[in-house]
Amino acid sequence: MLDYVAVDIPSSQWTDTQEAWWLVMESTTSGLVHITHIQFLTLLYPSGIEARLIFLLLGPLAIASSGMVFTSMNSAAEVRDLGDAVRNVCNSALSLLFTAALLAWGFVIHRTPAWRTDGGTAAFGIGAIILAVLSTVSNFLQIFLNRRIHWLLSLTWAIVLWQSFLGWWWWVGSGEGINEVEDMLERERRRRRKRAKKRKKEAQAAASGADPQRGRRAK
């Protein structure tokens, strides 16, 4: 067996205020990690309907996972166990949905550009998928373990953040962001053309309105 020294945090000697602030930090960390990953999924699925669907499906799970952190302050063991169970289920569901969305994007939706070998695009994709599977396994492992391993959750957060980092470079390397930028530039060009046509029409209308007045003055 691997021997290691573990320090209990929050400490049993901490006051309620200190423990509350620690849980606020832990809840904030959980929320930021999930928000980062949800935002990354909106890059993979950029349409308005897909983005709203992602926020509606994953947002409540992320909020519930962050809120369940505060059940650790309850004196009843049943409440603490229930809070841990709900949080682990929410984290596992989020991780499973993240992994499924990543696999669908890489192997179904953008299969050809996502696995190009130039620029290390395929390497970023392989790394992101491996970390996605590891985060899913670690989250489900926390459900089935008889005792809570405090450092495993922090390790899972680190894996998820690295997964988002590699996934972002995978998305950049596949060139999908270029199409979105081109669409934005094209929309801006259309707006400029519309504004130019509008100004031209206004100038013509002003000129046509001024000509009769000049004619009357000449008479």
pLDDT score for 216: 55
Q: Which residues contact 83 (CB under 8 A, 6 or more apart)?
A: 68, 69, 70, 71, 72, 74
Residue/partner pairs of 116-119 with CB below 8 Å, 24 or more apart: 116/173, 116/174, 119/173
Average pLDDT, the chain: 81
Closest CA relative to residue 45, chosen from 125, 109, 127, 132:
109
Residue 114 clears pLDDT 70, i.e. is over it: yes
- Residues 169-216 pLDDT 10s: 888 887 765 555 666 677 788 888 888 888 888 888 877 765 555 555
- Residues 142-157 pLDDT 10s: 888 766 777 788 888 8
Furthest-apart CA atoms within the chain: distance in Å: 109
Q: Tell me, yes or no, if the pTM score tops 0.85.
A: no
61, HSE (Cβ side, Cα atoms, 13 Å): 20
pLDDT score for 131: 92
Residue 218 clears pLDDT 70, i.e. is over it: no
Residue 130 clears pLDDT 90, i.e. is over it: yes
The span from the CA of 38 to the CA of 17, in Å, is: 31
Q: Average pLDDT for residues 92-109, to the nearest whole number?
A: 88
How would residue 33 be classed by pLDDT, with cut points 50, 70 and 90? confident
Distances (CA, A) of 6 to 33, 104, 201: 24, 39, 76
Percentage of the chain with pLDDT > 90? 4
Q: Which two tokens stand for residue 142?
A: 């926390």
Tell me how far the alpha carbon of residue 56 is from its chain's centroid: 13
pLDDT score for 2: 59
**Would you say 83 and 72 are in contact if contact means Cβ atoms under 8 Å apart?**
yes
Residue 101 clears pLDDT 80, i.e. is over it: yes
